[in-house]
Amino acid sequence: MRTALVTGGSAGLGRAMVERLLARGWRVVSVDRDEGPREPNMEHVACDLSDRSEVDALPARLGALAPFHLAVFNAGVSATGRFEAIPLDAYRRLMTVNAETPMILAAELVRSGHLAGPICFVSSLSHFTGYPGAVVYAASKDALAIYARSVRKPFARRGVSVTLACPGPLRTAHAERHAPPGADAARRMAPDIAARIILDATFAGRRLVVPGRTNRLAAIAGALLPGAMMRQMRRLIFERLDRDVW
């Protein structure tokens, strides 16, 4: 039986990926702070991925469950509002979960040989559009995206392909919590659809996947006209935020 590692597998997109992998006959190791619904063939590893000492202890725990044939670095948190209104320690935890921890775990899994299969780094559509109203989240997701692009060749030499996933807004509790008031949840993509598209792209070894046509158009627009897209994001997000949430 093949084994997948998924971080942030208890809820949202991570949960959808766990469910899909289980349905495809995989064994799944889910690393998350809180435990989600239990399933056969699924193992929960409790770890606060924003805590450096817990992260340092994680590779040894994962080593006992290795080898892995897929690793999805999906865990992420956000902080929305005015940059200066959110406390620095919240930004510290965000940067650790979203950028530092996935890099540390990926390097460790590839170096140790515990991973024999593809990696997927889950970044964000904000990598293409910019994200005023969540500037540190945007920074963390840009960092992860460029890390994914940078390690693609060196990791390929060790037999590990790297896929960068940049999903747009999803119909998850996470998005609900951080969206501006009045945002239409029906227009967000269902997480199980995004999970399928992202996993298929990862197994195919694709460099980049942006699930959904509207999101791909936004990504292209952001790449071609970054300034105009950033101003549009300011109007759509930053000017409509009525609270600071972290």
**CA nearest to 62, candidates 30, 15, 94, 101:** 30
Among 217, 225, 226, 243, binds other proteins (CB under 8 A): 226
Interaction with other proteins in 171-210: which residues (CB under 8 A)? none
Interaction with other proteins in 79-98: which residues (CB under 8 A)? 82-84, 88, 91-92, 95
Pairwise CA distance, residues 114 & 66, whole Å: 6
> 121-140 mask for other proteins (x: CB under 8 A)?
-----xx--xxxxxxx-xxx
> To the nearest whole angstrom, how small is the minimum distance from the Cβ of residue 97 to other proteins?
12
Burial of 227 (0-12, 13-18, 19+ CB in 10 A): exposed
**Residues sharing a CB contact under 8 Å with residue 142, sequence separation 6 or more, in sequence order:** 123, 126, 127
Interaction with other proteins in 48-77: which residues (CB under 8 A)? 52, 55-56
Among 146, 223, 224, 225, binds other proteins (CB under 8 A): 146
**Residues sharing a CB contact under 8 Å with residue 233, sequence separation 6 or more, in sequence order:** 129, 130, 131, 132, 133
Pairwise CA distance, residues 118 & 70, whole Å: 5
Residues at the contact surface with other proteins, assessed by CB under 8 A? 52, 55-56, 82-84, 88, 91-92, 95, 99-100, 103-104, 107-108, 110-111, 126-127, 130-136, 138-147, 149-155, 158, 226-227, 230-231, 233-234, 238
